């Protein structure tokens, strides 16, 4: 009788756990935003695409070309694979709901005040450094997952190239973490990302990452989305298998 009573409660708490966990993951929103910008480009609505791109990136988008918009989409997909999916799941696996709440608090604080405001410069410096610390391991997991997904989706050549570019260019990025998944994605697709861009009118000189082997097309944006999806579910499967093995 007790087992019959326990089952509904188990299902209830499992459902609650999944619901609250899903609130901290943004895979669907990330994919939808990328697809929406790409759809506008395919319709020739470049001004609308520039405006929609603001939901994905922090750079100025007003004067970006069609190719630059697609590069920005791909960069954002790679970087946010870590911030929106891999890192939250990583800390969920380590510390449960408390772990994921802690990570999202640090990540949100960094996006709000990290180095951005003279009034809060000390808090901004601390939150940025904490965000770098919390993302160090997950970002490298994200890079490896992109390499793995490239092998699955595009074959050995793409996978080897993703690994090569990640190892070669991953540390060129100003961020100690963002460059890892971005370089892996650039290698997987055979494109060059990064380079100078503007933030609130101020030019930021960033190094180029990757090799310019193929034109940045709509097909490559779709491939990047597919890589992000495969990487996300691969990591979720890894976490489930690890939890299962630890229990047995």
- 141-158 pLDDT, tens digit per residue, is 999 999 999 999 999 999
State the DSSP code for 197: E
C-alpha to C-alpha distance for 103 and 92, rounded to whole angstroms: 9
Instruction: Examine the pLDDT at 56 and tell me if it is beyond 60.
Output: yes
pLDDT at 3: 47
pLDDT at 52: 95
The average confidence (pLDDT) of the chain is 85
The three-state secondary structure class of 19 is helix
pLDDT at 36: 95
Give the bridge partners for 204, in sequence order. Answer: 197
C-alpha to C-alpha distance for 107 and 93, rounded to whole angstroms: 17
Instruction: Examine the pLDDT at 115 and tell me if it is beyond 50.
Output: no
- pLDDT tens sequence across 179-230: 999 999 999 999 999 998 888 888 888 899 999 999 999 999 999 999 999 9
pLDDT at 205: 86
pTM: 0.86
The answer to whether the beta carbons of residues 132 and 171 sit under 8 Å apart is no
* Burial class, 2, CB count within 10 angstroms (exposed 0-12 / middle 13-18 / buried 19+): exposed
What percent of the chain is modeled with pLDDT above 70? 83
pLDDT at 14: 54
Residues 6+ away with beta carbon under 8 Å from 207: 169, 172, 173, 194, 195
Q: How many domains does the chain have?
A: 1
Looking at per-residue pLDDT, the higher value among 46 and 6 belongs to 46
Q: Domain of residue 238: give its range.
A: 2-247
pLDDT at 22: 55
198: enclosing H helix or E strand = strand 197-199
């Amino acid at each position: 009788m007790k087992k019959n009573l326990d089952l509904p409660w188990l299902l209830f708490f499992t459902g609650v756990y999944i619901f609250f966990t899903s609130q901290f993951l943004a895979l669907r929103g990330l994919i939808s935003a990328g697809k929406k910008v790409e759809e506008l480009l395919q319709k020739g609505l470049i001004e609308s695409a520039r405006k929609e791109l603001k939901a994905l990136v922090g750079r100025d988008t007003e004067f970006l070309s069609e190719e630059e918009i697609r590069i920005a989409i791909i960069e954002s997909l790679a970087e946010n694979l870590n911030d929106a999916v891999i890192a939250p799941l990583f800390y969920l696996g380590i510390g449960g709901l408390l772990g994921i709440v802690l990570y999202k608090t640090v990540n949100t604080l960094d996006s709000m005040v990290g180095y951005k405001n003279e009034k809060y410069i000390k808090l901004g410096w601390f939150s940025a450094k904490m965000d770098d610390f919390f993302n160090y391991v997950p970002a490298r997991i994200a890079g490896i997952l992109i390499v793995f997904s490239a092998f699955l989706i595009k074959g050995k050549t793409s996978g080897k190239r993703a690994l090569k570019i990640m190892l070669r260019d991953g540390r060129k990025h100003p961020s100690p973490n963002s460059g890892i998944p971005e370089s892996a994605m650039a290698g997987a697709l055979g494109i060059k990302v990064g380079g100078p861009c503007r933030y609130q009118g101020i030019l930021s000189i960033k190094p180029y990452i990757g090799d310019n082997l193929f034109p940045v097309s709509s097909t490559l944006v779709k491939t990047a989305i597919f890589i992000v999806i495969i990487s996300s579910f691969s990591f979720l499967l890894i976490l489930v298998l690890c939890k299962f093995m630890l229990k047995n």
